[in-house]
Structure 1
């Protein structure tokens, strides 16, 4: 039996009164990562002591090959003329440094000042080292853009102690970038940030969540507020939701026509009493159906990769691929029992990824080609 991997996931809470910009709003949707991690055999836990009784001390670090005591950092000393440091600063008090520059930081950082005061870097280093000593497999810190710079320092310091970037991930979530169509120029232009309440008048929270998650968290997330949320082919969330609605409608039709017997009482898990081969055991006469089946079978692999890389955009890309292939297949579909197997698998996969992973509503009533399509 595979051991559940223990992960310490830390994301700063942002309360409604603190929401002042789209950057704050995007940061709030990253709570969906908890669902992604739990779905992929990670156990999210709180350390028993949260590092308060540090498992590491400066005395223990003093013999570490990445820690040294000096009156100035290696980088500053290297800029002086040869021998100046020893001659001029030999009697200067010394700080304790860690060689973060060896792991991508701009320069070495101080752990303890010459007056004996510890830095925030040392306190955090001790805290996260202690958490790893409790048996955790991974630490993920999620922070808003105000932390840019410190992420590089702390990540480099953890690497000095031997922890990899896969074990310790400090992720700075970049903000949304708003765009809108400008009628006089007939072009899409970047626009200034809007207050949260104003932005939510234009696009729904589901739409903002989708466009926040469909690009890497470390990249700025573009959103065209003129088209996002609209029932058009350029709105990728609409394409995914309309695929879900079409699959639901066709399954209802198949039930009425007697191809299947469907129990649709539970939206999240439709059941059929018909017995037929699973998509893994079926062969398909249509190349689009075969491609769709392969795409659906890869879902577990995509989720594992998205969790390992803390990359929810991979889930969105997977949904977009499922939607695009499914639309092609549905253009010439003839309802059969085997086809209903694929329809049901597509519907359930879209539901699972949208609602249970991304926490975005899967709609069974949606406007398609100017008409409202309902699964009821």
Structure 2
């Protein structure tokens, strides 16, 4: 069984430890994120309002929508009359979706929009402008209140997480009713009559978040604002904040990315695998040595032996051994009897080897004379060697 890779075990242990730590550690309150999502418990989510809304509107059915405006209004079978709610940081709708909304309201339906930023084209069609004061006019102590005496609060409402710079400018007062103003008497909540229906535009979405809905000083503001909605089926838009898919339609990957602890663990795994591939993915087994193929050392042996005999000046012995090996080579190659080096041997060798008769005769004569000699000199050795090498080259 192969031994587990220690780097991979360290990576897995690190990821698991981090996930457990993130899951069980106390979660700090997130004061920076303003999601306005109906499933967020953070101060600036809207879970509290969404869960309390059915009690505040007992005769209405509140349903969450995760579809674009165009698809919802164009493809969904709706009741005769209904409400459509948007609570966002930015309300986004292109010209086609604006046309759908306007037609929806014109038939007698109601649209409630609470957002800091709205499309200029929609504002122009409805006869108002969403304005913003310069930074030096910011005022977190600015009070907000309703125009209706029955809804007004004596001391007003202070949403101190808002800088007080946003307000609405009325361009067509004949079809617009101001429902709420700030302490500077600037409209921040209006009703726009359009066809048989109406738009409610509120420029302070932070008032509908968890923090202010659950704070006793401001908790009634959101419900007073929504009390203007008729008792009808109400659709709460979450598409512009969370996209098309709800929890039941979430893929595993979307769920992982939506959870902070799992999301960080995902990045940790990705970067860990990258570092593993860079630093530990190389070969860790013992290097296999290169085995050279076997070499034919016979020729080297012969050269070594010949060099040894030559250096010892044993020319006679070396010459006779060269003759002996040469004749053995002739016997093996041509099947000749080399006992007697006569004329018949010479002619047979010349015929079988393809060498000329004269060259063969000279070689055989040298071999025969060498065999008969009592002692062979260095000159005799060199002469024999040249003759034998020359014969081998000619055949």
The structure with the largest alpha-carbon Rg is 2
TM range (shorter): under 0.3
TM-score normalised by structure 2 residue count: 0.19
Specify which structure has the higher proportion of helix.
2
